[in-house]
Amino acid sequence: MTVHVHYFARLREELGRPGEEAELPADDLTVGGLWQHLHHEAPPARLMAAVNQEQATLETPVHDGDEVAYFPPVTGG
Protein backbone atom coordinates (compact mmCIF):
# COMPACT_ATOMS: atom_id res chain seq x y z
CA MET A 1 0.00 0.00 0.00
CA THR A 2 1.28 3.47 -0.86
CA VAL A 3 0.39 6.58 1.18
CA HIS A 4 1.35 10.19 0.47
CA VAL A 5 2.46 11.95 3.68
CA HIS A 6 2.78 15.71 4.20
CA TYR A 7 4.29 17.57 7.17
CA PHE A 8 3.37 21.15 8.01
CA ALA A 9 4.71 24.01 10.12
CA ARG A 10 7.10 23.01 12.92
CA LEU A 11 6.97 19.32 11.95
CA ARG A 12 8.31 20.13 8.48
CA GLU A 13 11.20 22.05 10.02
CA GLU A 14 11.98 19.40 12.66
CA LEU A 15 11.90 16.51 10.17
CA GLY A 16 13.76 18.43 7.47
CA ARG A 17 11.35 17.54 4.67
CA PRO A 18 7.88 18.56 3.48
CA GLY A 19 6.68 14.99 3.14
CA GLU A 20 7.29 11.57 1.72
CA GLU A 21 5.68 8.71 -0.13
CA ALA A 22 5.44 5.68 2.11
CA GLU A 23 5.30 2.06 1.01
CA LEU A 24 3.56 0.17 3.80
CA PRO A 25 3.56 -3.58 4.44
CA ALA A 26 0.05 -3.76 5.89
CA ASP A 27 -3.40 -2.60 4.87
CA ASP A 28 -4.67 -2.10 8.42
CA LEU A 29 -2.77 0.95 9.67
CA THR A 30 -4.21 3.99 11.39
CA VAL A 31 -2.96 7.57 11.29
CA GLY A 32 -1.13 6.96 14.59
CA GLY A 33 0.24 3.63 13.39
CA LEU A 34 1.53 5.27 10.21
CA TRP A 35 3.43 7.86 12.26
CA GLN A 36 4.92 5.11 14.41
CA HIS A 37 5.89 3.08 11.33
CA LEU A 38 7.63 6.07 9.69
CA HIS A 39 9.35 7.53 12.77
CA HIS A 40 9.83 4.50 15.05
CA GLU A 41 8.24 6.32 17.97
CA ALA A 42 4.81 7.15 19.30
CA PRO A 43 3.13 10.21 17.79
CA PRO A 44 3.85 13.48 19.61
CA ALA A 45 1.29 14.66 22.15
CA ARG A 46 -1.49 16.71 20.57
CA LEU A 47 -0.46 15.82 17.01
CA MET A 48 -3.16 16.80 14.54
CA ALA A 49 -3.82 15.07 11.23
CA ALA A 50 -5.99 14.99 8.15
CA VAL A 51 -6.73 12.18 5.72
CA ASN A 52 -7.64 13.24 2.20
CA GLN A 53 -8.05 16.82 3.45
CA GLU A 54 -10.56 15.91 6.18
CA GLN A 55 -9.73 16.22 9.87
CA ALA A 56 -8.74 12.85 11.36
CA THR A 57 -7.80 11.30 14.69
CA LEU A 58 -4.89 8.97 15.42
CA GLU A 59 -7.40 6.08 15.19
CA THR A 60 -8.57 6.96 11.65
CA PRO A 61 -7.81 4.13 9.20
CA VAL A 62 -5.37 4.74 6.34
CA HIS A 63 -5.98 3.15 2.93
CA ASP A 64 -3.96 2.67 -0.24
CA GLY A 65 -3.56 5.96 -2.11
CA ASP A 66 -4.60 8.17 0.83
CA GLU A 67 -3.02 11.54 1.47
CA VAL A 68 -2.15 11.98 5.16
CA ALA A 69 -1.13 15.36 6.55
CA TYR A 70 0.40 15.87 10.00
CA PHE A 71 0.55 19.25 11.71
CA PRO A 72 1.06 20.63 15.20
CA PRO A 73 -1.82 22.17 17.15
CA VAL A 74 -2.82 25.56 15.79
CA THR A 75 -3.36 28.62 17.94
CA GLY A 76 -4.68 31.98 16.98
CA GLY A 77 -5.50 35.26 18.49
pLDDT in tens, 7-48: 999 999 999 999 999 998 877 899 999 999 999 999 988 999
d(CA 47, CA 12) in angstroms, rounded, equals 13
Beta-strand runs (E) in the chain: 2-7, 19-23, 48-51, 54-56, 67-71
Q: Which residues pair with residue 20 across a beta bridge?
A: 5
Phi (first) and psi of residue 57, to 5 degrees: -110, 175
Its pTM stands at 0.90
How open is the CA angle 52-72-13, to the nearest 5 degrees? Answer: 100
Please give the pLDDT value at position 59.
96
Q: Which of 75, 61, 67, 57 is nearest to 10 (CA)?
A: 75
